[in-house]
């Protein structure tokens, strides 16, 4: 009953009582009554009317309170944007469903929208909200009887989904992904999806969701994979990653990260002409950690940008020290690695130039080293940044050439100075005549583009002889020297110069 209906009812009853009172006051039997008796009758009639009105108002108040409670419950249990169950209701419903359907096997599925923040930034929050509501409608039509779904965070959705075998289940998952991918005509809506097959029903719902989320996170930066199933090894990795993340900021403050240098040699006379700066983490608890133990994680969480800046500053400090103390290092050029995430910073060239100027280092003595995959991830924006770096005098080195895309055509449009060939590229090609021709062709084309060529990962005398024969310029690898502490590198260079 709405407000107008309740008001009409109260007015109707009030009029009824007024008519009744008038009738009573004019009734023949009452007309014979004394004035005092008439007053008493009127008083009782109006009292009855008052009681009735109070009763109606009380009922209305209770009704309003009930509606408010229902509205609050709805707000507590449902997402206001999409109408989906929220996390609180989803958990409660899942517990009941899993308990009631003991013979049905279930999987917990969680997914989110890739680069959802970028969609909001580029197309506006209205577009983002439309995508969320569209996904909710897709899920509403997608789920089967005895399944549940929920929007649990900004762009996170959970599904309690029946699992009746891998084939049927994966077909449904892939169908859902395709439907969401095809939603927008402006762009492809990609999602990353994690799956946990529920075995132990005594565990809490949030544990099922956490494990599905671990599976999702394991593929978050892998554009080739849309979904993954949880494995126990993911949990071990996640615990290790959490430990690293909890210590990384303090490690940077406490100077636990160190610069190691690996020498670079000219093939022609085996003279040391430079080095690559490599980061090591000297952890008080775990000892010296190699980059593979933490750099992939830092690239996922963005901390790599701080590490790259730290390494660049440390290299500039070191070169300033050499400049003031020892002329034996005057011609040593050092390369510093930068992540694809650094290329999102349009001010990177200015920031690096400021640091180099602060330590009085000529930019030409520093190589900015980028992986080959970075070029293909950021080719449009990257070209502008590299051109600025080149204008300031920095040398540009393309690392890991041959590991992924291997496009010399793309290199023509970039201001690169140095091409570093990946070990896998030249070691495999050296084993057959066709491979040797490919290497020779790549080296010839690189020289035609005025690129200095570096072979990275040289480990055997056979590789040295092959690369020399092919015309490669510079060697770097364990055959010559492993990465070493700065003080060891200094001693190593001085010793080599004395023996030359």
Residues contacting 157, CB < 8 A, separation 6+: 84, 110, 111, 112, 135, 136, 139, 149, 150, 151
Q: How far apart are CA 407 and CA 389, in angstroms?
A: 22
| Residues 347 and 410 occupy one common structural domain | yes
Reference 229, options 177, 173, 189; nearest CA is 173
CA-based R_g, the chain, Å: 37
Question: Looking at the chain, how many residues does it have?
Answer: 500
Inside any domain, residue 242: no
Tell me: do 196 and 344 sit in the same domain. no
11 Cβ contact partners less than 8 Å away, ≥ 6 residues apart: none
Residues 114 and 25 in one domain: no
Domain boundary (26, 50, 77) is at 77
Task: Give residue 472's pLDDT.
Answer: 94
pLDDT tens per residue across span 422-461? 887 777 666 677 878 888 888 888 888 899 999 999 999 9
Whether 276 and 425 map to the same domain: the answer is yes
Mapping DSSP to helix (H, G, I), strand (E, B) and coil, where does residue 259 land?
strand
Q: Give the per-residue pLDDT at 182.
A: 86
CATH number where 366 lies: 3.20.20.450
Task: Assess if residue 237 is contained within a domain.
Answer: no
Nearest Cα neighbor of 187 from 82, 112, 81, 116 is 116
Domain boundary among 18, 42, 77: 77
d(CA 56, CA 16): 15
| Domains identified in the chain, total number | 3
Identify the weakest region by mean pLDDT among 9-18, 312-321, 357-366.
9-18
Pick from 26-35, 59-68, 482-491 the range whose average pLDDT is largest.
Answer: 482-491
For 403-426, b/e burial (b = at least 16 CB within 10 A) is eeebeeebbeebebbbbbbbbebb
Of 209-218, 357-366, 411-420, 488-497, the poorest mean pLDDT is in 411-420
Same domain, 327 and 467: yes
Which residue's entry shows tokens 């660049």? 312
Q: Is the pLDDT of residue 135 over 90?
A: yes
Q: Which two tokens stand for residue 325?
A: 């103390």
Percentages (nearest 5) of helix, strand, coil residues in the chain: 60, 20, 25
Query: Which pLDDT does position 148 carry in this prediction?
Result: 95
In a domain? residue 394: yes
- Whether this prediction's pTM lies above 0.85 is answered by no
Does 57 share its domain with 101? no
Same domain flag for 115 and 257: no
- 217 and 363 both lie in a single domain: no
**Cα torsion angle, 327, 334, 428, 442, sign:** negative
Task: Answer yes or no: is 241 within a domain.
Answer: no
pLDDT in tens, 293-343: 899 899 888 999 999 999 999 999 999 999 998 888 989 999 999 998 898
Identify whether residues 380 and 454 lie together within a single domain: yes
- pLDDT for 124 beyond 60: yes
Query: Same structural domain for residues 325 and 441?
Result: yes
Domain that holds residue 10: 3-77
Q: Residue 485: in which H helix or E strand, if any?
A: strand 484-485
Sorted by sequence, the CB contacts under 8 Å of residue 10 that are 6+ apart come out as 53, 56, 57
- Whether 38 shows a pLDDT value over 90: the answer reads no
Verify that 211 and 263 share a domain, yes or no: no
In the predicted structure, residue 42 carries a pLDDT above the cut 80: no
Which pLDDT score is estimated for 393? 97
Q: Say yes or no: 493 and 347 in one domain.
A: yes
Tokens of 193: 């999806």
**Which CATH number do you get for residue 185?**
3.30.70.270
Is residue 44 pLDDT above 90, yes or no? no
Residue 28's pLDDT band, with cuts at 50, 70 and 90, is very low
Specify the pairing of strand 272-283 against strand 257-266: antiparallel
Contact 303, 248 (CB under 8 A): yes
Q: What is the pLDDT of residue 29?
A: 52
Residue 326 lies in a domain: yes
What's the angle, vertex CA 177, arms to CA 175 and CA 179, rounded to 5? 70
Q: Tens of pLDDT along 227-268?
A: 999 998 888 888 888 899 999 999 999 999 999 999 999 999
Separation CA 491–CA 489 (nearest Å): 5
472-490 pLDDT, tens digit per residue, is 999 999 999 999 999 999 9
What is 354-400 written as a DSSP string? HHHHHTT--GGGEEEEEEHHHHHHSHHHHHHHHHHHHHHT-EEEEEE
Report how far residue 13's alpha carbon sits from residue 3's, in angstroms, rounded to the nearest whole number: 16
Indicate the residue among 77, 99, 131 that finishes a domain: 77
Answer yes or no: is 413 within a domain.
Answer: yes
Q: How confident is the model at residue 177, as a pLDDT?
A: 94
Which two three-digit tokens encode residue 321?
A: 């020290």
| Environment class of 269 (CB within 10 Å of its CB; exposed 0-12, middle 13-18, buried 19+) | exposed
In a domain, 243, yes or no: no
| Residue 39 lies inside a defined structural domain of this protein | yes
């Amino acid at each position: 009953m709405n407000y107008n209906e309740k008001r009409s009812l109260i007015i109707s009853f009030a009029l009824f009582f007024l008519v009744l009172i008038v009738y009573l006051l004019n009734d023949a039997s009452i007309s014979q009554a004394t004035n005092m008796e008439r007053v008493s009758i009127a008083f009782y009639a109006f009292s009855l009317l008052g009681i009735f009105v109070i009763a109606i108002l009380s009922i209305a108040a209770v009704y309003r309170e009930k509606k408010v409670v229902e509205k609050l419950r709805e707000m507590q249990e449902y997402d206001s944007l999409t109408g989906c169950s929220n996390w609180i209701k989803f958990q409660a419903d899942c517990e009941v469903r899993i308990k009631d359907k003991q013979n049905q096997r279930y999987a917990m599925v969680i997914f989110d929208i890739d680069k959802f923040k970028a969609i909001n930034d580029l197309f506006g929050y209205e577009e983002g909200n439309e995508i969320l509501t569209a996904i909710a409608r897709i899920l509403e039509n997608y789920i089967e009887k005895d399944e549940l779904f929920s929007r649990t965070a900004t762009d996170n959705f959970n599904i309690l989904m029946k699992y009746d075998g891998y084939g049927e289940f994966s077909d449904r998952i892939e169908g859902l992904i395709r439907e969401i991918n095809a939603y927008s005509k402006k762009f492809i809506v990609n999602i990353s999806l994690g799956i946990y097959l529920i075995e132990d029903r005594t565990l809490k719902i949030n544990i099922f969701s956490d494990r599905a989320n671990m599976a999702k996170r394991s593929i978050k930066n892998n554009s080739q994979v849309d979904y993954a199933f949880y494995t126990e090894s993911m949990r071990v990795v996640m615990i290790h990653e959490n430990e690293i993340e909890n210590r990384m900021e303090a490690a940077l403050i406490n100077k636990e990260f160190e610069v190691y240098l690996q020498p670079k040699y000219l093939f022609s006379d085996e003279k040391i002409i430079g080095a690559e700066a490599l980061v090591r983490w000297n952890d008080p608890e775990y000892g010296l950690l190699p980059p593979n133990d933490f750099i992939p994680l830092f690239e996922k969480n963005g901390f790599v940008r701080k590490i790259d800046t730290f390494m660049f500053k440390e290299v500039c400090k070191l070169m300033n020290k050499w400049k003031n103390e020892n002329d034996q290092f005057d011609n040593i050029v050092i390369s510093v690695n930068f992540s694809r995430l650094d290329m999102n910073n349009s001010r990177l060239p200015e920031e690096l130039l400021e640091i180099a100027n602060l330590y009085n280092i000529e930019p030409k003595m520093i190589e900015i080293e980028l992986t080959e995959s970075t070029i293909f991830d950021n080719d449009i924006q990257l070209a502008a940044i590299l051109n600025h770096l080149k204008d300031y005098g920095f040398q540009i080195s393309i690392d890991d050439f041959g590991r992924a895309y291997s496009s010399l055509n793309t290199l023509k449009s970039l201001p690169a100075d140095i091409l570093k060939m990946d070990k896998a590229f030249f070691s495999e090609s050296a084993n057959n005549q066709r491979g040797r021709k490919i290497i020779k062709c790549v080296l010839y084309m690189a020289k035609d583009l005025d690129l200095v060529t570096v072979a990275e990962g040289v480990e055997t005398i056979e590789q040295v002889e092959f690369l020399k024969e092919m015309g490669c310029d510079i060697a770097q690898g364990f055959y010559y020297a492993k990465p070493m502490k700065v003080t060891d590198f200094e001693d190593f260079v001085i010793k080599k110069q004395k023996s030359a």
